[in-house]
Amino acid sequence: MAEETTTPAIQLPDATKLVVSNSPHIRGNETISKVMVQVLLALLPAAIAAVWFFGLAALKVMVLCTVGCIAVEEIWNKCTKRATTWKDGSAAITGLLLAMNLSSGTPWWICILGCLLAIILGKQLFGGLGFNPFNPALVARVALLIGFPSLMTSWVAPTPGNLTVCDAMTGATPLGAQGEAVASLADLFSGNVGGCLGETSALALLLGGAFLIVRKLIKWQVPAAFIGTVVVISGLVHAINPEITQTPIYHVLAGGLLIGAFFMATDMVTSPMTAKGALIFGCGCGLITSVIRIWGGYPEGVSFSILFMNALTPLIDRYTIGKPFGYIRVKKEAA
Amino acid sequence: MSDKPRKFKGGVHPNDSKALSAAKAVQDAPLLDSYNVIVHQNIGAPPEVIVKKGDTVKKGDLLAKASGFVSVPLHAPTSGTVSALEKCPGPTCISVPSITITADGEDAWGDCMEPISDWQNADPAALKQRVADAGIVGMGGAGFPSHVKLSPNKPIDTLILNGAECEPYLTADHRLMLEEAEKVVLGAAILARILGLNGATIGVENNKPDAIEELNKIAGKYNVKVQGLRVNYPQGAEKQLIYALTGREVPIGGLPMDAGCVVQNVASAAAVTDAVINGRPLIERITTVTGEPLVNPGNWRFRLGTPISKALELAGGIKTQPAKLLLGGPMMGFAQNSLDVTVMKNTSGILLIPVETASQYTSEPCIRCGRCVEVCPMDILPATISQAVENERFDWSAQLNVMACIECGSCSYVCPSHRPLNQHFKRAKAEIAAARRKEQKK
Ligand code: SF4
Ligand code: SF4
């Protein structure tokens, strides 16, 4: 006969199912892909602005590069028998950033070539995410710039609101003509000028940049030092002789300074880890950019400056190691 | 001393989950049939067992005596018979010697130590001896003998009681300060007398306003100051606590006394009161039994030697199978694989971590995001050190000051790549210590 059921027995954990591992036993809910998705979100305003000003041609370039980078990364992973990594979001960011560095008139095969250069040359050959010393999107941009100088420096004039525009009309880049403004500050701020997809709208970039800083996805020290240095140097030179260069505000708004300072120089993998290192890194970028822009042969020094500073990152990291807590012998007590 | 607590750099804000047990008043755990007292419950030398199988003991009788200066005696949690001297599961998942007491149900005290009610005029050395005789250790988790901390060989001007209880989930110290504020404050005053100081400071995280209020009601009477502290893990880490309260940094590799401070846990202070005023050795402690999988989390006063299984039963057992069973808090506690481990002097919490929140992740490459650097309260570079360890470059990790790491786990907590940073540092510290020992032998 079945026994009467009494109060249910107290249930204890099954000891054989208990996991033994190191502390800490709880973790924050941050993951690589969450970080990357937020960076992608931050690029959204700039992407929307690009489509607004350059039409669906811009969208085409962005989709091509993003999907292209993901595809190249996966094919590489397959060929080298690695685990798939596209879900971490880093390839998508590289793709979108690459697109931001191209004009809407860029032929499709340049886009794909850029993806190959970015993912394979810029990232996977070094061992993949976390091991690449240079920002992959910039590696691709600079390689393309050297390989196809004329293609890479012909710009499409903006056609705000007209989404269907696809044919490339070449216009001057605002930084191309030295000392001579080709666009009004208002146009530069909104993005109504020719240039790379992501270079044009200062407004959209500032929105994204603010998001990155507020969410602590980047160190504010990098853009602050980068832009600050450019402002100071161009301001000084402009004050001494306005013939040589534009006003500092023009320097900030025109060209790739904002996207470079907020989105490219701040790439975690390739910039210093400490706050002090980030300041030095940003100042270095600003200095090199100013020098190239004002006295160099290229109108645009942002990409070169970031790549150059990327190379110095390990050095900066090494020499900015601070003193740990308690390094000083007992401090005098404040009365 | 400045009036405003300072902010130490870094730290994290884990979900504190204290609400599960914070409102649960301490209950006395009912007397068990037997207790399995682990012999080695302190940092330092294990005490020397002086009972044999078959001996009868009274509650508070000596089971093992201190075997050196950095060692404390162990006392019987109840009256009964020594029924076994065997090995049982220990807190680090390795079997350790233990003494089993089969209770006689009388729970009768033996010849206790003489109360020193006139402690204000008692000889400080006698008071200190009492602390040692009562077997008191750091009850916040470290288990370091209290009397050793009370014998500094450097000038001391500040006594700090650690009531921060910054680990998520734990509320044992909170309840103690709330319900037995007088014992804590009195303990502080006694400790101050031992050190020849006039007064002490109790640091409590601001998320326990009721405890701060209770302590404040009587603190003035004993010239004790209660200082609310910023809620930030690891606020209760000794070095961070000292910095917050005094602005002094304990030198790397140094001790609180190098900054003129002695730090004692609030539960240890309460135990000091018991030892001095009531003549009672340390045979029980308040422990939080908590975690989402439990039916009825709360705080209990357990005798040393109470099996974890009994504690979990008191908490109503489980609703769901947990992923982990911990002794201590989720940031620094030790994972267990047996329910037969027993409550020790430093068991501040018995915690069940549900499957959903247990950190079981595969580690990915470091993306150099710098989050770990930002949160490290010791201001070292976890990411770089971890890479050094992965490359077996222990000398390099030493140069990067891995020895300063307090193993608080903040860096592992925030790492989006889920890197086993803490694990790397433990390994590096062990390797470096071993290398140094080898060096000294030469
Ligand atoms: S390195 Fe050590 S001290 Fe710093 S956060 Fe990590 S565990 Fe804590
Ligand atoms: S938090 Fe993790 S991923 Fe970020 S720098 Fe530190 S170790 Fe690397």
Question: B65 in helix, strand or coil?
Answer: strand
Query: Residue A153 pLDDT more than 90?
Result: no
Distance from CA of A154 to the nearest CA of B (A): 35
Tell me the pLDDT tens digit for each residue of A298-324: 667 899 999 999 999 999 998 888 888
> CB–CB of B254 and A326 under 8 A?
yes
Is residue B259 domain-shared with residue B392, that is, in the same domain?
Answer: no
B358 part of a folded domain: no
What pLDDT is recorded for position A244? 80
Counting as low any pLDDT under 50, the low residues of chain B are 1-2
Ligand nearest to the CA of A88: 2
Give the distance from CA A327 to its chain's centroid: 36
Q: Percentage of chain A surpassing pLDDT 70?
A: 88
Q: Could you give the CA distance from residue A8 to residue B295 in angstroms, rounded to a whole number?
A: 13
Q: Is B165 in the pocket of ligand 1 (CB under 6 A)?
A: no
Residue B406 CA, ligand 2 centroid: distance in Å: 18
> For chain B, how many structural domains are there in total?
2
Residue A171 or residue B179, greater confidence: B179
* Residue A171: pLDDT band with limits 50, 70, 90: low
Residue A192 has pLDDT above 90, yes or no: no
Q: What's the pLDDT score for residue B174? A: 96
User: With 70 as the cut, is the pLDDT of residue A173 above it?
Assistant: no
What chain A residue is nearest to B261 in terms of C-alpha separation?
A: A330
Residue A196 above 90 pLDDT? no
Nearest CA to ligand 2 atom 2: B415
What is the band of A252 on the pLDDT scale with cuts at 50, 70, 90? confident
Assess whether the C-beta atom of B214 lies below 6 angstroms from ligand 1.
Answer: no
The overall average pLDDT reported for chain A is 85
What's the pLDDT score for residue A243? Answer: 82
**H-type helices in chain A, by residue range?**
32-54, 56-79, 90-100, 108-116, 136-147, 149-152, 185-190, 202-214, 221-240, 248-253, 257-259, 275-295, 302-319
pLDDT at residue B138, as a whole number: 93
Domain containing residue B123: CATH number: 3.40.50.11540
In-domain check, residue B140: yes
Asked if pLDDT for residue A180 goes beyond 80, the answer is no
- What is the interface pTM, i.e. ipTM, of the complex? 0.86
Q: Do B256 and B141 reside in the same domain of the chain?
A: yes
What does the pLDDT average to over A237-256? 85
Statement: residue A329 has pLDDT above 70: no
What residues are in contact with ligand 2 under a 6 Å CB criterion? B 366-372, 382-383, 386, 414-417, 419, 421
Nearest CA to ligand 1 atom 6: B411
Does B370 contact A12 at a Cβ distance shorter than 8 Å? no
Topology given in CATH for the domain delimited by A32-318: Ammonium transporter fold (1.10.3430)
Question: What is the structure's pLDDT at A332?
Answer: 41
Task: Give CA–CA dist B347/B336, Å, rounded.
Answer: 13
Task: Please check the confidence at residue A331 and state whether its pLDDT lies above 50.
Answer: no
Q: Which domain holds residue B420?
A: 371-441
Q: Which residue is it, tokens 């301490």?
A: B26
Residue at B335 is within a domain:
no
Looking at the complex, does the CB of residue B422 fall below 8 Å from at least one CB of chain A? yes
* CA separation for the pair A118, A136 (Å, rounded): 5
Please say if the pLDDT value at position A333 is more than 70.
Answer: no
Q: Could you tell me which residues come within 8 angstroms of residue A97 by beta carbon, excluding any fewer than 6 positions away?
A: A43, A135, A137, A198, A263, A264
B362 CB near a chain A CB, below 8 Å?
A: no
Residues of each annotated binding site of B for [4Fe-4S] cluster: 366, 369, 372, 376, 405, 408, 411, 415
Closest ligand 2 atom to residue B418 Cα is: 2
b/e map B195-223, b = 16+ CB within 10 Å? bebeebbbbbbebbeebbebbbeebeebe
- Say what the pLDDT of residue B351 is: 96
| Token pair of A206 as six digits | 């500032």
Nearest neighbour of B367 by CB, restricted to A15, A20, A269? A269
Structural domain spans, chain A: 32-318
**Per the structure block, which two tokens stand in for A188?**
């530069």
Does B36 fall in a domain? no
Better pLDDT: B284 or A325: B284
Q: How much is the pLDDT for B360?
A: 67
pLDDT at A177 over 50: no
Does residue A20 have a pLDDT over 80?
A: yes
* Length reported for chain A: 335
**Quick check: A30 and B416 CB within 8 A?**
yes
Q: Which residues of B are annotated as a binding site?
A: 366, 369, 372, 376, 405, 408, 411, 415
Q: Looking at B229, B252, B278, which one is the last position of a domain?
A: B278
